[in-house]
């Protein structure tokens, strides 16, 4: 068999493998994307609206620690540059490291009033295969 005839089936097999591979990075910015199905090794970026100048902060209540690993601290970025007290976004990065199920749950409230009900809740079931 010639080299050209071997290349065609090999090329088709590689193309099919690339088409079925999951995206390496998943970004979620609202609860409507939940529940989430991830593959081991995939990265998850969670981005939520935030305005720490109001005193309300997002706090991780459940990090799906059995299936997700944090890749760093919360990162806040202002979407209204030059506006004092303007809102922005907080982002967290995670990596799916083990198969199983977990829950990623964050609440937004003022840290000095832990007994008060949160003003917002992000609650997402995570399954890692």
pTM of the entire predicted model: 0.78
- Identify the domain containing residue 75 by its residue range: 26-128
Is residue 6 included in any domain, yes or no?
no
3-state SS track over 5-40: HHHHHHHHHHHHHHHHCCCCEEEECCHHHCCEEECC
The β-bridge relationship of strands 120-128 and 25-28 is: unpaired
DSSP 53: G
End-to-end CA distance of the chain: 40
For 92, the 3-state DSSP assignment is strand
Is residue 36 included in any domain, yes or no?
yes
Q: Say yes or no to pLDDT of 85 above 90.
A: no
- Average per-residue pLDDT for the chain: 86
Residues with Cβ within 8 Å of 20's Cβ and at least 6 positions away in sequence, in order, are: none
Residues 46-68 have pLDDT tens digits of: 999 999 889 999 999 999 999 99
Interatomic CA distance for residues 64 and 57, integer angstroms? 20
Per-residue pLDDT, 23 = 72
Query: Domain holding 88: CATH number?
Result: 2.60.40.2020
Per-residue pLDDT, 63 = 96
Is residue 15 included in any domain, yes or no?
no
Residues with Cβ within 8 Å of 125's Cβ and at least 6 positions away in sequence, in order, are: 34, 35, 36, 101, 102, 103
If one counts the domains in the chain, the total is 1
Q: Say yes or no to pLDDT of 17 above 70.
A: no
Is residue 74 included in any domain, yes or no?
yes
């Amino acid at each position: 068999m010639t080299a050209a005839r071997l290349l065609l089936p090999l090329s088709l097999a590689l193309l099919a493998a690339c088409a079925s591979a999951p995206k390496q990075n998943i970004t979620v910015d609202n609860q409507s994307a939940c529940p989430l199905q991830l593959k081991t090794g995939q990265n998850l970026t969670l981005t939520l609206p935030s305005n720490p100048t109001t005193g309300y902060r997002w706090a991780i209540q459940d990090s799906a620690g059995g299936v997700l690993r944090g890749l760093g601290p919360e990162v806040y970025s202002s979407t209204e540059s030059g506006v004092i007290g303007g809102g922005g976004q907080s982002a967290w990065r995670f990596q799916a490291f083990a198969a199983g199920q977990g829950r990623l749950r964050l609440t937004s409230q003022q840290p000095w009033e832990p007994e008060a009900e949160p003003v917002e809740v992000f609650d997402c079931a995570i399954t890692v295969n």
